[in-house]
Amino acid sequence: MGLLSIDQIQYFVEAIGKVRHKNLVGLIGFCAEGTKRMLAYEYIDNGNLEQWLHGDIGPTSALTWDIRMKIAVGTAKGYACLLFSFL
């Protein structure tokens, strides 16, 4: 799969940036320079995904595999709905 053009990235950022849901972090914008791309999201108060997956959040243990699978399936369903709403 090739890189998305700046116009394609801007289209998706604008569309996804309008989505509001209690379980989604708001997308603020993007930066593209050469072959590098970066998305900017709102600050997450309770740590980031890396910390939750690998247990780097203090006394709280990392997520179990059962919980991870539920999150992954729910995320996939959400992205599928979002994707198909643009087709």
- CB-CB neighbours of 61 under 10 Å: 8
Put simply, whether the predicted model's pTM sits higher than 0.85 gets the answer: no
* Percentage of the chain exceeding pLDDT 70: 83
- The answer to whether the CB of 34 falls within 8 A of the CB of 28 is no
Q: Name the nearest CA neighbour of 52 among 70, 73, 69, 68.
A: 68
Per-residue pLDDT of the chain (87 residues; tens, 9 = 90+): 466 677 877 787 787 778 777 767 788 888 878 878 788 888 877 777 777 777 766 666 667 889 889 988 988 888 787 777 655
Give the model confidence (pLDDT) of 21-41 as tens digits: 776 778 888 887 887 878 888
